[in-house]
Amino acid sequence: MDSLCSMWLVLLFGVYCEAQLRKEAYMTVPNLIKAAGYPVEKHRVYTRDGYILQMHRIPAGRRIVRRIDEPSAKGKKVIIIVHGLGGSSGDFVIMGPEKSLSYILADAGYDVWLANLRGTDYSSHVNLTKNEQKFWEFSFHEHGKYDLPAMIDHVLNVTGQEKIIYLGHSMGTTSFFTMMSTKPEYNDKVSFCVAMGAAVYLENVKPVAKLALVNLNITNMMRERGVWGIHPSMVQGAVKNLCTLNQPEVDLCTNFIFSIIGEDREQHDLDIFPIYLHRIQMQPFRSLEHFGKIALTGVFTTFTGGVNGPVKPYNLTNVRVPVTLVYGENDQLTEKSQILKLAEELRSIGVLEEVRPACSWPKFNHFDFLFAKDVGKLLNKPLVKLIDKLYNKYNTA
Ligand SMILES: *[C@@H]1O[C@H](CO)[C@@H](O)[C@H](O)[C@H]1NC(C)=O
Ligand SMILES: *[C@@H]1O[C@H](CO)[C@@H](O)[C@H](O)[C@H]1NC(C)=O
Ligand SMILES: *[C@@H]1O[C@H](CO)[C@@H](O)[C@H](O)[C@H]1NC(C)=O
Ligand SMILES: *[C@@H]1O[C@H](CO)[C@@H](O)[C@H](O)[C@H]1NC(C)=O
């Protein structure tokens, strides 16, 4: 947040801190990409159950002059990047060209496709509006069963490639595993997967899930009031009224968020954090409940029958592509112990490529994958080297 945005300004002139956010808080993702000097394309993808998703493609880096008749060079390395809960394609561009993964990959010769799952600003439905409950009753089950297959088919169709590289953060990894479990034929369309902060086992959040979903029954209580998720306006209202984000040491909001994702003051970016909170997307209750069911049962289970319904594990043995798991040492949401548990399972079925820390920084938390002050140097530049290595290993044919 701007240093001008101090309490006395707010009090004297009634200025909202929000009004002083940088323009990055308000720009669309395609405009952000254009402003950064990269080519960008918007693609409309239809899912089998009627959702319309907008993908954002960065087909080339800054320094490469693209021939208009040849938008994607043959043999180009195609990668799809999938965001987490409350996120969007914007998660991978708002840090700018030196830091954000999309740009570093594009400059390294990748054809970058940013996914937008149903529920983001870049999604709609052929028949339903966002005011209808039916629009919002989905979780990573539907992301994996409908959204990802539709987007992957579209990308393969446009690029003429046979396989894509898959990279996900948080729920973007959960969706990968639900896709492979429910539609194993997609193993043939992915060469390898890099999963950052994989959210498959969540026993560490069991107490929170129990309190919110069982004891307080918050989501159903809210549904009865016509609310289908944590709406961005609720977050922005809280930020405006309760938070002093520019003083993180004393700010209740920052400390609350740290308690969920892991504390990392050193890498906490004061400029970017309010922008992220301003760009946050609706978090549907169904998605939170599905994560809650996984936390409560300790099983990577479907949502069949709801939170209290039967436990029906996703069949992870259907995963047949190599998976690299990347964890944050101080990620309190997708905790290392839980990622190591997933790693054991993937190892036992022979698909674990590697499980590795994001970097050597011991306080690396769940958001640092996207917004750490030094995310370019700490994570993304080495990550692109890793992806290069895996690409050469698995795409030699
Ligand atoms: C949308 O509505 C039309 C007309 O009622 C119907 O034929 C179609 O199946 C609906 N599509 C979806 C995905 O619900
Ligand atoms: C691929 O693109 C062609 C031409 O635009 C279209 O006719 C076809 O339906 C597409 N296939 C898929 C699977 O999207
Ligand atoms: C939560 O609320 C819903 C609807 O109000 C109700 O049907 C359900 O039984 C409640 N669940 C618990 C665990 O209290
Ligand atoms: C899981 O999938 C594997 C093969 O992909 C199959 O052999 C196994 O029976 C399935 N397990 C269950 C519980 O459905």
For 349-379, the pLDDT digits (tens) are: 999 999 999 999 999 999 999 999 999 999 9
CATH number assigned to the domain comprising residue 291: 3.40.50.1820
CB atoms within 10 A of CB 298: 14
pLDDT confidence of residue 5: 47
CB distance 4 to ligand 3 below 6 Å: no
Q: What is the mean pLDDT of residues 164-193?
A: 98
Of 315, 318, 320, 346, the one to substitute when testing ligand 4's pocket (max ligand atoms within 8 A of C-beta) is: 315
CA of 218 to the centre of ligand 3 (A): 9
The whole-chain average pLDDT of the chain stands at: 92
Considering every ligand atom, which ligand is closest to the CA of 146? 1
CB distance 217 to ligand 3 below 6 Å: yes
Q: What is the mean pLDDT of residues 3-21?
A: 50
pLDDT tens column, 46-80:
999 999 999 999 999 986 555 554 554 545 899 99
pLDDT tens column, 239-267:
888 888 888 888 888 988 999 899 999 99
CA of 137 to the centre of ligand 3 (A): 17
pLDDT, greater one: 386 or 24: 386
CB distance 317 to ligand 4 below 6 Å: yes
Q: Say whether pLDDT at 99 is over 60.
A: yes
Q: What is the mean pLDDT of residues 158-177?
A: 97
- How far is the C-alpha of 294 from the C-alpha of 299, rounded, in Å? 5
CB distance 251 to ligand 1 below 6 Å: no
pLDDT confidence of residue 77: 94
Closest Cα to atom 2, ligand 1: which residue? 127
pLDDT confidence of residue 15: 45
Considering every ligand atom, which ligand is closest to the CA of 224? 3
- How far is the C-alpha of 230 from the C-alpha of 34, rounded, in Å? 30
Q: Say whether pLDDT at 9 is over 90.
A: no
Q: What is the mean pLDDT of residues 282-297?
A: 97
Q: Say whether pLDDT at 185 is over 50.
A: yes
Residue with tokens 């054991």: 344
User: Which tokens belong to 336?
Assistant: 């290392």
Considering every ligand atom, which ligand is closest to the CA of 183? 4
- 77 phi and psi angles, rounded to 5 deg: -80, 110
Q: What is the mean pLDDT of residues 225-235?
A: 94
- Confidence band of 308 (pLDDT split at 50, 70, 90): very high
CB distance 48 to ligand 1 below 6 Å: no
pLDDT confidence of residue 296: 97
Could you identify the atom of ligand 4 that is nearest to the CA of residue 318? 5
Q: What is the mean pLDDT of residues 148-171?
A: 97
Q: Say whether pLDDT at 3 is over 50.
A: no
pLDDT confidence of residue 237: 87
Residue 113: beta bridge partners? 57, 80
Q: Say whether pLDDT at 134 is over 90.
A: yes
CA of 292 to the centre of ligand 3 (A): 15
pLDDT confidence of residue 396: 66
Q: What is the mean pLDDT of residues 176-204?
A: 98
Q: What is the mean pLDDT of residues 71-100?
A: 88
CB distance 28 to ligand 4 below 6 Å: no
pLDDT confidence of residue 66: 53
**3-class secondary structure, 74:** coil
- 181 phi and psi angles, rounded to 5 deg: -70, -40
Could you identify the atom of ligand 3 that is nearest to the CA of residue 308? 13
CB distance 315 to ligand 4 below 6 Å: yes
CB distance 39 to ligand 1 below 6 Å: no
Work out how many domains the chain is built from and give that number. 1
The residues carrying an active-site annotation are 170, 331, 366
Angle, vertex CA 191, rays to CA 320 and CA 290, nearest 5:
60
CA of 121 to the centre of ligand 1 (A): 22
Beta strand residue intervals within the chain, DSSP E: 41-46, 51-58, 77-82, 110-114, 123-125, 164-169, 190-196, 229-230, 283-284, 323-327, 352-357
Which domain range does residue 93 map to? 3-393
- Confidence band of 7 (pLDDT split at 50, 70, 90): low
pLDDT confidence of residue 342: 98
pLDDT confidence of residue 64: 57
